């Protein structure tokens, strides 16, 4: 019983990490029709920003971690907004060019990170409380998993609140439905789309800081490794569906944890088989809208 509880909670923690990355992917695609293959770069730069802050402050505490989390979100948001302003804005409705540009940006950013921080992983230590465990039904769960789950829930609530209750959220939703009409009313939809990109980048930047704590290191390829599963989550949940991404994140991560433990480390294979099954049975995903 304790093993099942441990796998469930650690799976929820891993699913929270997947959601932080997939939420930005799903939000940007659902509202703007942009499939951003450079999204992992936002995660990586956020992770390195958090690492540099922690290294310079020279202290591992909850306060330093919170500052690193905020800095990662800020850096991710700025880089994402600049990406939209300088590259993506000129390529709306040109999907092939979007893919080529974002893939190129992803490859170039890895090379840039290699040049600055080197190719080897940089191992780091988090706050001592993260290394401790909390006993739940006989299972000793690492405390950092609870932090992941809490941050993911807060991000989900913040994004939903932004879209439903803020002026920019209303502009974005109206612009998706009828962009020309909103523009005719004198509203700059492009600025709202930049805000959406920044929100997705902020979530990825926070995910980068949390991923570095989860895996215990930061490396130029960190974003790419997490992005693969974030894309799987986004497709399974339904492209553009934020609730679908949340549900799929939990399903994928929990299934991955159980398969790794009970089926000899076949978690990645099982996730890919699940993706193939969903595409065959329900191509638009769990909560994706019919085209």
pLDDT in tens, 109-118: 999 999 989 8
HEC profile of the chain: CHHHHHHHHHHHHHHHHHHHHHHHHHHHHHHHCCCCCCHHHHHHHHHHHHHHHHHHHCCCCHHHHHHHHHHHHHHHHHHHHHHHHHCHHHHCCCHHHHHHHHHHHHHHHHHHHHHHHCCCCEECCCCHHHHCEEEECCEEEEHHHHHHHHHHHHHHHHHHHHHHHCHHHHHHHHHHHCHHHHHHCCCCHHHHHHHHHHHHHHHHHHHHHHHHHHHCEECCCHHHHHHHHHHHHHHHHCCCCHHHHHHHHHHHHHHHHHHHHHCCCCHHHHHHHHHHHHHHHCCCCCCCCCC
In a domain, 228, yes or no: no
pLDDT at 77: 94
Q: What's the token pair of residue 274?
A: 């699940």
pLDDT at 59: 61
In a domain, 195, yes or no: yes
Tens of pLDDT, residue by residue, the chain (291 residues): 678 888 898 999 999 999 999 988 888 887 777 888 888 899 999 999 999 998 888 667 788 888 999 999 999 999 999 998 888 888 777 778 888 899 999 999 999 999 989 888 998 877 888 878 888 877 888 888 898 999 999 988 988 888 888 877 777 777 666 666 777 767 777 777 888 889 989 999 999 999 998 888 999 999 888 889 998 999 998 887 888 889 999 999 999 999 988 888 888 899 999 999 998 988 888 877 665
pLDDT at 150: 92
Residue (of 279, 122, 91, 83) closest to 212 by Cα position: 122
C-alpha separations of 71 from 48, 97, 183, 184, 195 in Å: 10, 31, 34, 37, 17
pLDDT at 113: 92
Identify whether the C-beta of residue 148 lies closer than 8 Å to the C-beta of residue 214: yes
Q: What is the pTM of this model?
A: 0.89
Domain count, the chain: 1
Rounded Cα distance between 152 and 209, Å, is: 13
Rounded Cα distance between 192 and 89, Å, is: 12
In a domain, 252, yes or no: no
In a domain, 239, yes or no: no
Domain that holds residue 97: 2-222
In a domain, 138, yes or no: yes
In a domain, 289, yes or no: no
In a domain, 160, yes or no: yes
pLDDT at 266: 85
In a domain, 77, yes or no: yes
pLDDT at 179: 64
């Amino acid at each position: 019983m304790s093993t099942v509880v441990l796998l469930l909670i650690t799976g929820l923690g891993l699913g929270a990490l997947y959601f932080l990355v997939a939420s930005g992917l799903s939000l940007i695609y659902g509202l703007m029709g942009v499939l951003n293959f450079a999204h992992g770069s936002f995660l990586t730069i956020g992770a390195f920003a958090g690492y540099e802050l922690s290294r310079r402050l020279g202290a591992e505490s909850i306060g330093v971690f919170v500052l690193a989390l905020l800095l990662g979100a800020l850096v991710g948001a700025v880089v994402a907004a600049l990406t939209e302003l300088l590259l993506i804005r000129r390529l709306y409705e040109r999907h092939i060019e979007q893919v080529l540009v974002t893939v190129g940006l992803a490859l170039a950013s890895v090379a840039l990170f290699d040049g600055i921080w080197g190719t080897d992983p940089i191992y780091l230590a988090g706050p001592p409380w993260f290394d401790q465990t909390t006993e739940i039904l006989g299972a000793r769960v690492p405390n950092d998993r609870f932090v992941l789950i809490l941050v993911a829930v807060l991000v989900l609530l913040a994004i939903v609140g932004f879209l439903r209750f803020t002026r920019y959220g209303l502009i974005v939703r109206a612009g998706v439905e009828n962009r020309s009409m909103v523009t005719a009313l004198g509203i700059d939809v492009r600025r709202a789309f930049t805000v959406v990109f920044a929100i997705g980048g902020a979530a990825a930047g926070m995910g980068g800081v949390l991923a570095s704590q989860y895996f215990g290191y930061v490396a130029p390829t960190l974003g790419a490794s997490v992005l693969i599963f974030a894309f799987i989550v986004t497709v399974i949940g339904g492209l553009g569906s934020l609730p679908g991404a949340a549900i799929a994140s939990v399903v994928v991560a929990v299934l991955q944890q159980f398969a790794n433990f009970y089926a000899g480390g076949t978690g990645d294979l099982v996730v890919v088989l699940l993706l193939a099954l969903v595409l065959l049975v329900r191509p638009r995903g769990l909560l994706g809208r019919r085209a």
